[in-house]
Amino acid sequence: MNETPKSKRGWRILRRILIGLAMLATLVAVLYAEEDWRGKRAWEKCKAELEAKGAVLDWDKFIPPPVPDDQNFFKAPKMEDWFQRDAPKITRTPTTFVLSTNELTRDLDFGKLMALHQPPQTPVTVAELVIEPMAANAGETNVVLRFDDPAARKRAAELIRQATGPGVNGAQGFYFIAKPLNQILPARIVLQADKSPSLEEVAALFPADTISTNVGSLRVKPGDEANSFRILLAPHPVYSAEEFLQWSDQAAPDFDLIREALKRPFARMDGDYSKPYGQPIPNFIEVRVVAQTLASRAQCYLLLGQPDKALRELTLLHDLCRLLEAAPTGKPMTLVSAMIDVAVEGLYVNMVADGLQRNGWQGPQLIALQEQLKGINPAPFVFEAYRESPARICRSAELLPLYQFMNIGGTPKWPDKICSWLWPSGWTYQNMVNVAVLEQKPLEGFDLANDTVAPRKFEEANREINSFLGHQSPYKLVAAITIPNFTKAEQATAHNQTLVNEAQIVCALERYRLAHGEFPVTLDALVPQFIEKLPHDLIGGQPLIYRRTNDGKFLLYSIGWNETDDGGQDVSSKTPNGGIDFTKGDWVWQYPVK
């Protein structure tokens, strides 16, 4: 009996395994080739269809042309160092990732301001109260209150607020007051009563809401003489307007450099724009610190009754947005840059509103502010960011291996690299198709020609995107990690632009009041003397709703995100993460300040 040698049998098994592996490799290669072909074909078809409808998916078309150095903001002294960052870089430390800051930000470190400020160690006397019998002679320098008068509490609160002076919540979260606490002149009050009230009864005249909780808390103590009391303020860390201005004057020469640089018409950063993920970006930390400091300085000048100086700071804050808007083309525009632009303009209009609500602006400043407000329109920049986003994402996905694309600014792990090696390029193209298609949907909510937005279209686009991404697929991976929550950005943009439009009208209303002693019955009375053209409601395009109220003030509002006239009811509320829910009620101009 002949037996096949073991070596021959082993060779046959090995040969069969090798043939099987070769067949498997061929099959895998065919499948990869088919996936790559199908993906590339799907992308080319999608790109042609979208471009036929007006979409631009070629990243090179968003690269800004060079501009002359002597006309470029970023080529002015120090501007490039202060306000430009190269491609997103993160410096790794043993415990965390940190972004570096530069000299201007370090100079304006508000932690230093807090460390320098020492609040009074002892409470400040804000009122001295003497109890007298009814109909006693109170003297000319004292204010007389009757203990049995229901209006006594309100009048007592007014006296305390007059003693402490006006105050305002600052842009950095500080609270500013018009004069230092050690300069307070206590109110002198005579309280007439049939019998001497108790400490608790006197304290009831000065409840917790008598003054802003940002200033401090009140308490009542017996005075040095019989039938007398002292109203004491236990202050929180607050800053007088002069205190903050003196501290922030250290940056005044730098602000002058920025003013001079902003006279240049262009704002183009040098860098490599050929790769979207490598383009230079503005230094958002620096922009935020400078903007908040200028806003706080404007508030302090308004508290001190110096509107001209407040306007100068606000004008620089207004002009600061130009470095974010990439003149002359507005390209390339990232959504982050566009939303920082929205935030800075929102801060600016809030400072304008602060002065309007306190009657701090006079005719010349109101005219200047109207002109500045007329030029604010962030919606086109947000639209441009949306329009560029598909080209940005798709070009990055084409150039980078998947593991690098998924970890820009971070450190990829080995599982990410292995998945990337096994990832067919056709799947990347299928992802690009989904990104390009999905990111067209929010654009339908903008009507730039008529200067309106359509909340319902934004909401519908968001629902469609979320529904599509709700079902997992390797074709949806890139879209799932790159497409942001558009709705929040759109709401913030629309709300801030509405405040801008309302502020233009309120400046005109205030000018009318200064000229005529009252507000007009209708807004038509403002045209053309006090405003050239009335801004319309960004939501729906109809006129903003206005009516004069019986107390001599007015109500001005937009119908808001719900596109419904709720009669001027502002029911916006805080969200769990500290933001504002703009979806409810009307967007009402708050006037006057409480």
Query: Is there a contact between 541 and 555 (Cβ–Cβ < 8 Å)?
Result: no
User: What is the distance between the alpha carbons of residues 372 and 298, in angstroms, rounded to a whole number?
Assistant: 15
Res 472: pLDDT: 86
User: What is the distance between the alpha carbons of residues 337 and 367, in angstroms, rounded to a whole number?
Assistant: 29
Q: Is the pLDDT of residue 115 over 50?
A: yes
Greater pLDDT, 413 or 35: 35
Q: Which helix (H) or strand (E) holds 128?
A: strand 124-132
Greater pLDDT, 525 or 475: 525
Q: Which helix (H) or strand (E) holds 132?
A: strand 124-132
Residues 465-481, mean pLDDT to the nearest whole number: 89
Q: Looking at 14-18, 286-290, 306-310, which range is the least confident one?
A: 14-18
**Taking Cα atoms as reference points, which of 373, 341, 358, 342 lies closest to residue 241?**
358
Three-state SS across 8-42?
Answer: HHHHHHHHHHHHHHHHHHHHHHHHHHHHHHHHHHH
Q: Is the pLDDT of residue 95 over 60?
A: no
Res 243: pLDDT: 86
Res 391: pLDDT: 95
Q: Is the pLDDT of residue 102 over 90?
A: no
Q: Give the tens place of pLDDT for each residue, 334-369.
A: 999 999 999 999 999 999 999 998 889 999 999 999
Structure tokens at 110: 């508000």
Greater pLDDT, 148 or 97: 148
Greater pLDDT, 404 or 165: 165
Residue 328 preceded by cis peptide, ω within 30: yes
**Taking Cα atoms as reference points, which of 311, 258, 280, 215 lies closest to residue 108?**
258
Greater pLDDT, 158 or 208: 158
- pLDDT tier, 141 (very low <50, low <70, confident <90, very high otherwise): low
Q: State the amino acid at position 375 in one-letter form.
A: G
Q: Looking at 15-19, 193-197, 546-550, which range is the least confident one?
A: 15-19
Q: Give the tens place of pLDDT for each residue, 196-215.
A: 888 888 888 888 777 776 67
Q: Looking at 12-26, 108-122, 311-325, which range is the least confident one?
A: 108-122
Res 91: pLDDT: 32
User: What is the distance between the alpha carbons of residues 399 and 429, in angstroms, rounded to a whole number?
Assistant: 12
- pLDDT tier, 163 (very low <50, low <70, confident <90, very high otherwise): confident
Strand pairing category for 239-240 and 175-177: parallel
Res 351: pLDDT: 95
Q: Is the pLDDT of residue 459 over 90?
A: yes
**Taking Cα atoms as reference points, which of 136, 120, 118, 139 lies closest to residue 128?**
139
Structure tokens at 444: 């339908």
72 burial via Cβ count (<10 Å: 0-12, 13-18, 19+)? buried
Q: State the amino acid at position 44 in one-letter form.
A: E
Structure tokens at 570: 């502002």
Q: Which helix (H) or strand (E) holds 548?
A: strand 545-548
Residue ranges of the alpha helices (H) in 375-424? 379-399, 402-405, 414-422
Res 209: pLDDT: 73
Q: Give the tens place of pLDDT for each residue, 551-590.
A: 889 999 999 999 999 999 877 655 555 567 788 889 999 7
Strand pairing category for 545-548 and 554-558: antiparallel
Instruction: Give long-range contacts, CB 8 A cutoff, 24+ apart: 250-258.
Output: 250/107, 250/108, 251/104, 251/107, 251/108, 251/293, 254/78, 254/104, 254/107, 255/290, 255/294, 255/316, 257/76, 257/77, 257/78, 257/79, 258/79, 258/290, 258/316, 258/320
User: What is the distance between the alpha carbons of residues 350 and 581, in angstroms, rounded to a whole number?
Assistant: 18
Q: Is the pLDDT of residue 4 over 70?
A: no
Res 90: pLDDT: 32
Residues near 500 by Cβ (< 8 Å), separated by ≥ 6?
345, 349, 373, 376, 377, 535
